[in-house]
Amino acid sequence: MDKHTTQASLLDRLKAHAASNSIPMHMPGHKRNTELLGTDLPYNIDITEIDGFDNLHGASGILKEYMQEIADFYGTKRSHYLVNGSTCGILAGIRTATRRGGKIAVARNCHKSVYHAIELFGLESVYLMPEMDETFGIHGGVSTASIADTLKQHPDTQLVILTSPTYEGVVSDIAAIAGICHERSIPLLVDEAHGSHFNFSEHFPASAITLGADIVIQSLHKTLPSLTMTSLAHLNGDLIRPEEMARQLAIFESSSPSYVLMASIDRCFRLLRDEGGHLFESYNNRLNEFSEKMKQLQHLKVLCHGKDNPAMHPTFFAFDQGKILISAQGTGLSGQKFSEMLRSEYHIEMEMAYGDHALAMTSVCDTAAAMDALADALLAIDGTLDSKSGGHTLYNGTLLFSLPEKQCEIWQALESEKVDCPIENAIGQTAAEYVWAYPPGIPLLVPGERISNGFIRQIHALLEKGTKVYSDADGLPKNIRIIHHGSLAH
């Protein structure tokens, strides 16, 4: 039995049901028939909303109790299981906090799901540009001054949306930003998809949940031991109606939620609640040992590790040390080539490679042997490099170095007549499609934005370095889709 409650875990309940003699005349169609299907996949615990197992989108039994346990532990007003990833939580949260056609302030480095919400709900977007970190050529935090100025200029803003931490681990001053928003009774939504581990250790930045954010979306599967697509949505304060958030989640989340995934959420939470203290202490020690070894690097750089430290990055309010961003800038080695070397020579698969960078994501589940292997590989590769074989280019990453000029709203561009245009002739035209590098899924160009010479140079630089760049119409690098002259939707 759990030392905090007499309630069995969801996984235990599912196992008990699988061992019963219950005949499943209900979904799913595999009928838990492991004799036919084998046991490689968890068919025996994959059920639907049958008696005794509650209903996620009208929870009044065990699922309500499990989610209340999470809310009590995190100190939130409401917490919801998400089994469609953080995307469904972001869509539901934005719809809950806005009226159709309303205005929202959005950090321009947000995930593409935020832009999809702008498109779906016909919203007017006002973009917040993060500060730039010149040392690594990445986005820093969103400044409190930019938030205050934007809300002063746009007092009719209905919602502010930030990503913190970023994909690279950069954290903004959420407490101060929440204060600025709340002075005007404007709710703050924080995409904390990459910061779900913040709640479990003082060795990491404080979670937006504790800093005043009204809606916080976390991807458990990104940095905690939980299955892919498992996330949480948290509500705080009085600016968001809990019943409306629940209604919107029923729209954007599957009406047949996976009990396997929900059991993974429950198991992850129980493990970290009960054993998180020593797990995170050991994890922190492994990160510190890694960072100490990185001081030996002569050519590669690791963000906020080794010789690099947060004090060298004034645009960071805080940093998630669990993110290991490696820069090969100035060595002649691209991030893509660097990742290929790690894969082929050291059997290390990185999370992401773009421009001159490669990103390793770590968690409490990384063993000391795995961290040592990464450190040894970086030192070995570093020993083969020199710092004179390549130059620095401004357009070295998947990032925006200046805010593109918005010509119209996203939905207007997408509902207009579109034509394909050779990319060399597209300067000055208005984009009618998204362009992004994935991961991390942050749009380089959003429908309705003016295509600049700098954007085209950036695309070419990324492609030359082996970074995959995508567009809706899949015409790159030759063509890009633009609004046909005179056909702007109104």
Q: Where are the domains of the chain?
A: 10-271, 286-384, 410-483
Higher-pLDDT residue of 156, 465: 156
Query: What is the model's pLDDT at position 395?
Result: 44
Query: What is the model's pLDDT at position 391?
Result: 46
Question: How much of the chain, in percent, has pLDDT values that exceed 90?
Answer: 88
CATH number attached to the domain at 410-483 = 3.90.105.10
Burial of 446 (0-12, 13-18, 19+ CB in 10 A): buried
pLDDT at residue 399 tops 60: no
CATH number attached to the domain at 10-271 = 3.40.640.10
407-420 average pLDDT score = 96
218-243 average pLDDT score = 98
Q: Which of 316, 315, 293 is nearest to 305 (CA)?
A: 293
Query: What is the model's pLDDT at position 393?
Result: 46
Number of neighbouring beta carbons within 10 Å of residue 417: 12
Structure confidence by residue, pLDDT tens digits, 98-119: 999 999 999 999 999 999 999 9
Residue 366, C-beta contacts closer than 8 angstroms, at least 6 positions apart = 283, 286
pLDDT at residue 472 tops 80: yes
* DSSP code for 484: P
Residue 341, C-beta contacts closer than 8 angstroms, at least 6 positions apart = 381
Higher-pLDDT residue of 6, 418: 418
Q: Encoding tokens for residue 284?
A: 């922190």
Contact 118, 198 (CB under 8 A): no
Number of neighbouring beta carbons within 10 Å of residue 376: 12
Higher-pLDDT residue of 295, 489: 295
* Residue 1 binned pLDDT confidence (cut-offs 50, 70, 90): very low
Query: What is the model's pLDDT at position 285?
Result: 98
pLDDT at residue 438 tops 80: no
pLDDT at residue 168 tops 70: yes
In angstroms, rounded to a whole number, what is the distance separating the alpha carbons of residues 253 and 143? Answer: 33
In b/e form, how buried is each residue of 271-308, taking b as 16+ CB within 10 angstroms? Answer: ebbeebeebbeebbebbeebbebbeebebbbbbbbbeb
* DSSP code for 208: G
For the chain, what percentages of helix, strand and coil (3-state, to nearest 5) are there?
40, 15, 45
Fold category of 286-384 in CATH: Aspartate Aminotransferase, domain 1 (3.90.1150)
The one-letter amino acid at 335: G
Query: What is the model's pLDDT at position 463?
Result: 86
pLDDT at residue 164 tops 70: yes
Structure confidence by residue, pLDDT tens digits, 70-94: 999 999 999 999 999 999 999 999 9
277-299 average pLDDT score = 98
Name the one residue in this structure whose structure tokens are 């015409």: 475
- Give the mean pLDDT of the chain: 94
Q: Which of 250, 231, 239, 194 is nearest to 213 (CA)?
A: 239
* Residue 445 binned pLDDT confidence (cut-offs 50, 70, 90): very high
Number of neighbouring beta carbons within 10 Å of residue 256: 12
28-45 average pLDDT score = 96
pLDDT at residue 197 tops 60: yes
